[in-house]
Copies of this chain bind each other. A is one copy, B any other.
Amino acid sequence: MAITVVGSVAFDSIETPAGRRDRCLGGAATYFALAASYFTSVRVIAVVGEDFGRRQEAVFLARNIDIQGIEHAAGKSFFWEGSYLDNLNEAKTHSTELNVFGAFQPKVPEAYRDSEFLFLANIDPVLQRRVREAMPQARLVAGDTMNYWIKDHKSALLEVLKGLDILLINDTETRMLAGNPNLVLAARAVLAMGPRMLVVKHGEYGATFFHSTSPKGQSAERTFRAPALPLEEVVDPTGAGDSFAGGFFGYLAAQPELTPAVFRRAMFYGSVMGSFTVERFGTERLQQLSRAEIDARFNLFRELTHLD
């Protein structure tokens, strides 16, 4: 099944202990789409500026990603500059320029309207909601958000949560959204806000899958924790969470049936895609994977955590 993703396509300048890259292709929708493209067909809704040209387009096209929903506007693309010099687990933001993203009005191309899977990457919840409403046919809707929207745009965000099947956020965001420092209680509070399922990403420690116990939640079974691989070299953590989401949702979209076992495997594929992303700067690693490499790492994760 095809996935439509709406979110940022951007340029990032990144500095880590391993080095520096200026204006490399980034953005949540980019990482998500590349990661998901190894599992299913992906369609992107975003806006870019005049600095987004053939070279950037080629990255999507090489992975057969549909970019007719990427609108070209006058001005510059979204730009983020950050570093991870002191702590590889937390980016220090030096600069965020919304540029063309500031006036983004997502439009859903006619050809995207049969997408059964919809991913609302981390953008203004007002826009997330608009896209969700424009795509009523979507039968599984997942989304991400961040501390900024939780703190200052909570009522708009709560409206989005009502329309989500799956929310994917990190530990801090879960606790902040629920106002509860205990992760299990916070997860339960978040599930009561709308989503049937919640994936809490723990960075280098993996991710936990929670589901509501309501009758609607029968496609998933109890809490599940997927590992992350302890890595010898983390070159650049940027995009790991979006890559997790792409692997997770991409794998789901490619399955004939969404059984509890499928959700468990999706969590593992999410961790796998995140682990590849951090091995190189930006999307470098995500651009040149093979499904065989992905499945080999999936098996490594299984060996890393399974008793028998």
Contacts and interface: CB of A to CB of B under 8 A. Distances in A.
Interface of A: 88, 181-185, 187, 202, 204-206, 208, 222-227, 230-234, 261, 264-265, 268, 302-308
Contacts of A234: 182
Q: Which interface residue of A181, A205, A308 has the most chain B CB atoms within 10 A? A: A205
Can you list the 5 inter-chain pairs with the closest CB atoms, starting with the nearest?
A205-B205, A184-B232, A225-B227, A184-B230, A264-B307
A279 to B, nearest CB: 13
A19 to B, nearest CB: 15
A107 to B, nearest CB: 40
Given A182-B234, A264-B307, 15 more contacts: A88-B181, A182-B232, A182-B233, A183-B230, A184-B230, A202-B205, A208-B230, A222-B304, A223-B304, A225-B227, A226-B305, A261-B308, A265-B307, A305-B305, A306-B307
Contacts of A308: 261
A204 B204 CA distance: 13
Nearest to A232: B184
Contacts of A226: 305
A303 B260 CA distance: 12
Nearest to A185: B232
A91 to B, nearest CB: 16
Contacts of A232: 182, 184-185
A223 B206 CA distance: 15
A236 to B, nearest CB: 14
B307 A222 contact: no
Given A202-B205, A205-B202, A205-B206, A307 B268 contact: yes
